[in-house]
Amino acid sequence: MHILVACASRKGSTEEIASAISKELEAEGHHIRFSHLKDVTSVDGCDAAVIGAPVYTGHIIEDLQKFVEKNEAQLKTIPVAAFVVGLAPVNPKIGSTETLEEQLNGILASVNLVSTRVFAGKLDPSKHSFLTKTMISLMKVPTGDFRDWDAIKTWARELPAAFEKKAHE
């Protein structure tokens, strides 16, 4: 199966997750085309797509919406899985995973969606501006790497079966 794995990433956490998903799919014998959402000009030749984006201030960044709008016709014809990365899974004060799932499903309502996930991310204050560091401190936002690599890899391994099932419906 030829699978596009594409993501948006501001500080690298989402890209590292997309890379791990790519490696799992590749290990299962699939052909992977890895890219940033902004760099994808077409999904031609792909049998399925996995797309991901980070969440900032409770909202999925615009790159995902723009990608879907630009490639909507093609994304209706292949199975699509999507994920977002943020801190809501580790800090409900920041937002709820249910709200993020709703946002994600809303953005992807017009595509051939088979699976979505909200993954916990990583917050490294050293990668942020002074103002953002101050906000992180004032809001007592948890910092560190909260990514669950086992959950990410498990989801990735489940995707080909979901893609096949959707393709045969």
Which has the higher per-residue pLDDT, 90 or 35? Answer: 35
Q: Is 69 exposed, middle or buried (0-12, 13-18, 19+ CB in 10 A)?
A: exposed
154-168 pLDDT, tens per residue? 999 999 999 987 655
Q: In this prediction, what percent of the chain has a pLDDT beyond 70?
A: 90
Return the number of other C-beta atoms located less than 10 Å from residue 71's C-beta: 23
Smallest CA-to-CA distance from 70 within 164, 6, 163, 154 is with: 6
Mean pLDDT of all residues belonging to the chain: 88
Distance CA 50, CA 91 (A): 26
- pLDDT tens digits for 78-98? 999 999 998 878 777 777 788
In angstroms, the Cα distances linking 39 to 7, 34, 43, 100 are 10, 10, 11, 24
- CATH 1.10.3720.10, applies to 2-163: no
pLDDT digits over 111-152, tens only? 999 999 999 888 776 776 777 766 666 666 677 788 999 999
Is the torsion defined by CA of 122, 126, 129, 130 positive or negative?
A: positive
- Provide the pLDDT for residue 168: 56
Over range 8-21, report the average pLDDT.
Answer: 93
3-state DSSP call for residue 91? coil
3-state secondary structure at position 104: helix
The pLDDT value recorded for residue 38 is 95
Higher pLDDT, 169 or 102: 102
* pLDDT value at residue 139: 66
